[in-house]
Structures are given as C-alpha cells and as structure tokens.
C-alpha cells in the first residue's frame, strides 16, 4: 500500500488518511490509485462495516496535484486514478471527516461521500475558475442538485473560500464540530453504521443513491420492487430476532 494513503482498522471501522501533509494532501496519481483500489477492496471485506476518510496535517486535501499534472501534460487520467467510481461502487458507508482545507477535487469527492462531518477549522473552495480548468468529477452537476443552481454558482463561479458553518447552512455538510471532536464524532457514527444489519445497510444505501437519481414516483416504485424482493428472502424466524435487536438498541440509546 502506498504511504500516501494510511490505513487503520478499529473494530469494524476502517480509517483512510490522505498522507501528503507537506503538499496539503494534494491528490497525486499514486494517492488517487491507492484510494480507488482500497475502497474496492474494503467493499468486499466482510470485516468492515464503515469507512472514515480524513487528512493528515492541516488539510483534508488541496485537490488535484497540479504540479504533477503539469509534468504529465494532457495525458488522460487512468481509470484507477479517478476516485469517484470507486466511491460510487463501494457499498459500505463512507464518512468524510474534513479536518482542514478541502479544495476543488476534495469538494468533488465530498459530494459523493455518504456523510460529511467538518471541523470548525475547515475551509472549502471550488477553484476551477481560479486555475483555468473545467471540472471532471461531477461538481458542476452534483452541487447544484444538492443546494440549488444559484447557490452552486456562487461557490463555483467565484472560486472563493467558505467556512464550515456556511457550508453547513447551505446543506453541503451534515455537521460542524470542534477540531478535537472531529474524529470521535466520525468514529461514533461509523460504529453505528457498522453495528447495523450489513445486508440492510448496503442495500439501503444503494436504494437511496439510485432513487435520488429518479423522480419521486420512480423512486417509490424502485423501493417497492427491491424491498419486496428482500422481504421474500427473509426467513420466518428473522422477525423475532429483529424485534430483539430493536429492543436492545433502544436500551443502548437511553443509557
């Protein structure tokens, strides 16, 4: 495994850390490939129930490594250097713990994550207009669908930086916490995901993602079709166990 991506497993949660702090975790081809491959590997690992992604040092990521890109010229990116398809294919919940600067390519990946928790010290920017490059990883379409086209244009056409509270107010991130609370909060939520029935967690995640691309009527039909197929596969004795699991969880929440 590349040292540009650190991997640590704690129980059923895996933490992936972008590890080029001296370069603000700029996404080199090596780092992107390591991230892509690791996500596909974790998707097939039954010991893993959730994934937390963060950055070393004062940045989550400064986005694409433009120094490397200049050296490579107009070379087409290799498929394994694109992190987005691997994130979309991964059935395990992916939580981004944004610890600092999250710029351009970082924001594009963030929009594909399942959950985003940000440190109050985090800063966000889409700098495509500043560097003179058009987006490749979907921010032009995903951001406007998430927060509306006018708000998306304010972010993307200005290239300005926004703080974590502003991004929360816009609906781009789930939660803002103090820096020292970032990883504990991300890990606690990841453990909640990992403790659930994994067949349901993975199917439910895909149902939400696939349905989001449809209109409401189509999405409701999709839910009926997939859920009916799922229920047909459930053995009769599963319902008593489901009731017991729900009761246990309720007691834990009250404790």
DSSP codes, 130-169: HHT---SSSHHHHHHHHH-HHHHHHHHHH--EEEHHHHHH
Range in 81-90, 182-191, 236-245 the model is least confident about: 236-245
In a domain, 204, yes or no: no
- How deeply is 74 buried, as exposed, middle or buried, from its count of CB atoms within 10 A (0-12, 13-18, 19+)? exposed
Tell whether 86 and 30 lie within a shared domain.
Answer: yes
CB neighbourhood size of 89 (10 A)? 12
pLDDT at 254: 60
The three-state secondary structure class of 107 is helix
Residue 207 lies in a domain: no
Query: What pLDDT shows up at residue 255?
Result: 57
Using 50, 70 and 90 to split pLDDT, how confident is the model at 68? confident
Instruction: Indicate if the alpha-carbon torsion angle 128, 77, 70, 37 is positive or negative.
Output: positive
Q: Same domain for 162 and 225?
A: no
Q: Are the C-beta atoms of 52 and 187 separated by less than 8 Å? A: yes
Q: Is residue 90 part of a domain?
A: yes
In a domain, 203, yes or no: no
User: Does 139 lie in the same domain as 221?
Assistant: no
pLDDT at residue 70, rounded to an integer: 79
Which residue, among 184, 186, 187, has the nearest Cα to 174 in the 3D structure? 186
Report d(CA 240, CA 248) in Å as an integer: 12
Same domain, 185 and 219: no
Report the pLDDT value the prediction gives residue 239, as an integer from 0 to 100. 64
Q: Is residue 208 part of a domain?
A: no
Domain that holds residue 248: 214-254
**CATH code of the domain in which 47 resides:** 3.90.226.10
Instruction: Establish if 67 belongs to a structural domain.
Output: yes
> Based on the domain organization, do 168 and 76 belong to the same domain?
yes
186 & 98 share domain: yes
Q: What is the pLDDT of residue 59?
A: 97
Measured between alpha carbons, how far is 73 from 109 in angstroms, rounded to an integer?
23
Q: Mean pLDDT across the stretch 161-184? A: 97
Instruction: Please tell me whether residues 176 and 64 are part of one structural domain.
Output: yes
**Domain shared by 236 and 125, yes or no:** no
206 domain residue, yes or no: no
DSSP 77-95: PPGGG-HHHHHHH--S-EE
Q: What is the pLDDT of residue 121?
A: 96
- CA 207/CA 200 separation, integer angstroms: 10
Average pLDDT of span 151-169 = 96
Q: Which is more confident, 56 or 243?
A: 56
Q: Is the pLDDT of residue 78 over 90?
A: no
Please say if the pLDDT value at position 6 is more than 90.
yes
If you search the block for the tokens 């497993």, which residue do you land on?
9
Identify whether residues 189 and 92 lie together within a single domain.
yes
Quick one: pLDDT at residue 1?
Answer: 62
Least confident of 80-94, 156-170, 210-224, 228-242: 228-242
CB 176 within 8 A of CB 165: yes
User: In this structure, are 67 and 23 located in the same domain?
Assistant: yes
* Residue 178 belongs to some domain of the structure: yes
What mean pLDDT do residues 6-33 have?
96
Averaged pLDDT of the chain: 91
The total number of structural domains in the chain stands at 2
d(CA 196, CA 41) in angstroms, rounded, equals 20
Q: Is the pTM of this model over 0.75?
A: yes
pLDDT of residue 249: 58
Q: Please determine, for residue 107, whether its predicted confidence score (pLDDT) is greater than 70.
A: yes
Q: Does 32 share its domain with 68?
A: yes
161 shares its domain with 80: yes
């Amino acid at each position: 495994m590349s040292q540009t991506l650190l991997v640590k497993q704690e129980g059923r949660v895996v933490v992936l850390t972008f590890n080029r702090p001296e370069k603000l975790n700029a996404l080199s081809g090596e780092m992107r490939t390591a991230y892509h491959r690791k996500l596909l590997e974790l998707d097939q690992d039954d010991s893993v129930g959730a994934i937390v992604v963060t950055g070393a040092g004062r940045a989550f990521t400064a986005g694409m490594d433009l120094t490397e890109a200049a050296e490579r010229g107009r070379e087409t990116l290799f498929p394994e250097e694109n992190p987005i398809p691997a994130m979309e294919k991964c059935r395990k919940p992916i939580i981004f713990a944004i610890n600092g600067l999250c710029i351009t390519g970082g924001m594009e990946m963030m929009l594909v994550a399942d959950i985003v928790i940000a440190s109050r010290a985090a800063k966000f920017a889409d700098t495509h207009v500043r560097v003179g490059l058009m987006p490749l990883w979907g921010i032009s379409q995903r951001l406007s669908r998430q927060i509306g086209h006018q708000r998306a244009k304010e972010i993307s056409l200005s290239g300005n930086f926004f703080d974590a509270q502003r991004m929360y107010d816009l609906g781009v991130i789930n939660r803002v916490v103090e820096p020292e609370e970032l990883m504990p909060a991300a890990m606690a939520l990841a453990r909640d995901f990992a403790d659930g029935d994994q067949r349901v967690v993975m199917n439910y995640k895909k149902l939400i993602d696939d349905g989001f691309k449809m209109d409401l009527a189509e999405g409701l039909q999709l839910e009926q079709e997939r859920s009916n197929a799922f229920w047909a596969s459930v053995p009769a004795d599963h319902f008593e166990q489901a009731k017991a699991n729900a009761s246990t969880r309720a007691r834990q929440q009250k404790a």
